[in-house]
Amino acid sequence: MELREFAQQVLFGSSLEEKLRAPDVITDECPGTALATPAMPGRPQNLIFKPHGTGKSKFPGLHRLEQESERGKLLHFFGNHELLATELMALVLLKFPDAPAPFRQGVFQTLKDEQEHTRLYIARMNSCGLTFGELPVSGYFWRCVAPMEHPIDYVASLCLTFEQANLDFARHFAKSFGQAGDAETSKLLEKIYRDEIGHVAYGLKWFRRWKNPNESDWEAFCRTLKFPLSPQRAKGFTLNVEGRRAAGLDAQFIAELNVYSQSKGRTPSVFVFNPFTEGRLAEGKTFNPTLPQAQLARDLENLPQFLCRQDDLVLVQQKPSREFLCHVKQAGFPLPEFVAIKDVGALQDRKLGRLRPWAWGPDSVELLHPFFSSVSGEQRSTEQRFNPGLARLYSKAWSAGFLRKILSGNTDHRLPAEVTTSTAWRGQSAAPYLCNENEVGVAVNSLGEAFTAIAEIRSRRHHKIIVKEAFGVAGSNALRLFEPNLLESQKRWLAKAFDHQRELVVEPWLEREEDFSIQLEMTAGGLKLCGYTGLITDARGQFLANIAESHHHQRIPARIISRFPGSADISGRLLDFYGEVFAALEAELRRANFTGPMGIDAFIYRDAGGAMKLKPIVEINPRYTMGRVLVELMRQTGQGGFGRLRLVNRAQLRAEGFEAFADYARSLVEKFPLQLSSGPVGRIHHGTLCLNDPARAEVCLAVFLVGRTAAEIGA
């Protein structure tokens, strides 16, 4: 029988008997002309692909494999995949009649293996009471592979993608069926696994022959695959390194595949770390970060990976190293897809779910504007994403005004059910523990207003004063007035700010004892509480660390509550008070048409009489914060765990006896090795994880430490 005739029989046959029959002797003397790709292969009526776009087929639950019917459904999936591979191999023989004869003979031998696999799966599903064709079948493999333009497309997409993934799936399901008591299917899957090693090796041999010799296997593989295929499709639940080595894949290829990530179908959200939005709002396009600020932004640009899901995208200047991502993956965190900002043009043809910059502002609008039309998860205009109403939410003057309204009771809102705390309202007020209105900042816009505000504050015996620019990077753009009279340099600072039309906030300096933050998310359904975290800052108010306790998602930190000894139900009172704050804030956010992450900074301080008081709102940050990063990190910790997110700078590095961040990181791993809990989902029980690459860090290393008590994490 001629190979072309056999391929036509397999591709266009309308019965399984035709498709699964192979001759004992084959010749390839008349390969014929190239065939144009048909819309779909010939098939029995009950095995015709379900219409594209009608939804993904529901994958049978692995936890129900002890049920015969569920095993049959899974085998039905597998049977269709093997039949598709058979048809695609017939197609490649017909599309590329001029391909080398040894290649065509190899395809023929592999095709016969796939026919056998299909027959074996049909027999096993029949034994489970299911007939092939009883369930809808997908044509996804066909749609991905059939448009191939050269034999290298075939070996890349079928052999090195779908068949390589089966090195993981066949081994995994062989074990699962064995554990379910189905030894015969387990044995079948082990046979298929061994066959797939040979199939991948065959594809790899020809791929290497046809690829650009100046490219590595990995580089050529990534370049050859065409969307929607990506290397993500070439692996299963757990990467089977042994099988890949047996197939001849090299160590670099396997290591790159291990940390590669791209969505398999869910529209990804796009994240980017843009920490200078407040600077842009303060200075406009003339804003330029200092060299240390720019280095810090480069060091931490991958941090959004801990805010997103595996299928999401993170835009970066430089993709993280393979070694770093491997450590993150070993800690149990899913890896997103990283895209270099210089390559973002390639994203314009992809559907995107949401745009999630660190902060919405002029800078993120400029960067992400090309993707607005690609977003399917939210239909928002440029003005809805960022506008003057949203810009004012960044202002410290706005935060001060909002706090004053809260303290005076001058808000129009009702407490929504979704932000009501678990502690029922007891009619007991938190007012005795709160700051008063005189301790809230005052917005000023001229030297005269500033001098008046300073004089009024000092007339109330608050001799220490701090003046902040309404917009500015946290901890900077502030002036401390601790001397009895204004110095000339301080007057010049004030005058310069007003010359640049900056609004300032003048407020009493309070002797803070403990800081904390509240992490929120404004959604279409309302304002949601994400968690409370302790906050550690330096003398200038710049961030050093966040701390999360075991019940951070619903309770104010214990170290805050402990500062009010003997106070009746202070925790419940403060939770109820913040419930009212959230309700008032939600009303403001709805008016501004704001959705997204938000953080509130707060602290407790000792007043002139020695009593502890709470300043419930110091700043409101309408963006992601390090506290929110910690809240998301805590999702990967074991129940009852405590966590600390610390930023280590070069001064701290040297103070601990190190010159290089990489050496410091190694010492941390030795002192606090990462320990995951046992079970199907390993979570961090103890230990430390570097959140950015120590080998590349210039000025800052983010470190996540997990312990079982507050003392273990240095809290």
Nearest Cα residue to 234 out of 213, 198, 258: 258
209 lies in the same domain as 306: no
Q: Within a domain: residue 280?
A: yes
Instruction: Judge if 169 and 276 occupy the same domain.
Output: no
**Residues whose CB falls within 8 Å of the CB of residue 282, separated by 6 or more in sequence, listed in order:** 469, 471, 472, 477, 502
Residue 107 lies in a domain: yes
**Last residue in a domain, options 323, 358, 386:** 386
Residues 238 and 372 in one domain: no
- For residue 664, the enclosing domain spans 637-715
User: Is residue 216 in some structural domain?
Assistant: yes
State the pLDDT confidence band at 421, using cuts at 50, 70 and 90.
Answer: very low
Distance, CA of 466 to CA of 618 (rounded, Å)? 13
| Alpha helices for 613-703 (secondary structure H) | 626-633, 650-655, 661-671
The total number of structural domains that make up the chain: 3
Residues 194, 76 within the same domain: yes
Q: What percent of the chain has pLDDT over 70?
A: 94
In this structure, are 242 and 360 located in the same domain?
A: no
Query: How many helices (H) and strands (E) would you count in the chain?
Result: 25, 17
Phi, psi of 601 (to 5 degrees): -95, 140
292 in the same domain as 146: no
Sheet bearing 504-508, strands edge to edge: 442-444, 504-508, 465-469, 478-481
pLDDT band at 590 (very low <50, low <70, confident <90, very high): very high
Q: What is the pLDDT of residue 555?
A: 93
User: pLDDT digits over 624-676, tens only?
Assistant: 999 999 999 999 998 899 999 999 999 999 999 999 999 999 999 999 999 99
* CB proximity list for 699: less than 8 A, separation 6 or greater: 292, 295, 296, 299, 649, 650
DSSP secondary structure string, 114-182?
HHHHHHHHHHHHHHTT--TTSS----HHHHHHTT--SHHHHIIIIIIIIHHHHHHHHHHHHHHHHHTT-
Per-residue pLDDT, 379: 66
CB 631 within 8 A of CB 548: yes
| Residue 420 resides in a domain | no
Q: For residue 284, is pLDDT > 90?
A: no
SS3 content of the chain, % helix, strand, coil (to 5): 45, 15, 35
Q: Which of 368, 386, 404 is the last residue in one of the domains?
A: 386
Looking at the fold, whether 147 and 194 belong to one and the same domain comes out as yes
Task: Identify whether residues 291 and 187 lie together within a single domain.
Answer: no
Our CA angle for 700, 366, 474, nearest 5°, is 35
Tell me which residue has tokens 């597998």. 78
pLDDT at 420: 38
In a domain, 675, yes or no: yes
Find out whether 75 and 130 touch, Cβ atoms under 8 Å: yes
**For residue range 80-126, what is the model confidence (pLDDT) as tens digits?**
999 999 999 999 999 999 999 999 999 999 999 999 999 999 999 99
Asked if residue 280 and residue 252 are part of one domain, the reply reads no
Q: Domain holding 200: CATH number? A: 1.20.1260.10
Structure tokens at 713: 């994490």
In a domain, 480, yes or no: no
pLDDT at position 415 is 42
- Look at residue 567 and tell me whether its pLDDT is greater than 90: no
Region of poorest pLDDT, from 66-75, 80-89, 581-590, 657-666: 66-75
Whether the pLDDT of residue 418 is over 50: the answer is: no
The verdict on 98 and 192 lying in the same domain is yes
Instruction: Indicate whether 682 belongs to any domain.
Output: yes
678 and 649 both lie in a single domain = yes
Look at residue 2 and tell me whether its pLDDT is greater than 70. Answer: yes
Element (H, E) at 617: strand 612-621
Is 595 within the bounds of a domain? no
**Local confidence band at 423 (pLDDT 50, 70, 90 cut-offs):** very low
Q: Do both 88 and 217 map to the same domain?
A: yes
Per-residue CA distances from 579 to 430, 434, 513, 583, 645 (Å): 12, 15, 23, 6, 26
β-strand partners of 475:
none
pLDDT mean across residues, the chain = 91
The predicted pLDDT at position 61 comes to 58
pTM for this one?
A: 0.84
Domain end, chosen from 386, 411, 446, is at 386
Contact 683, 332 (CB under 8 A): yes
- pLDDT bucket at 262, cuts 50 / 70 / 90: confident
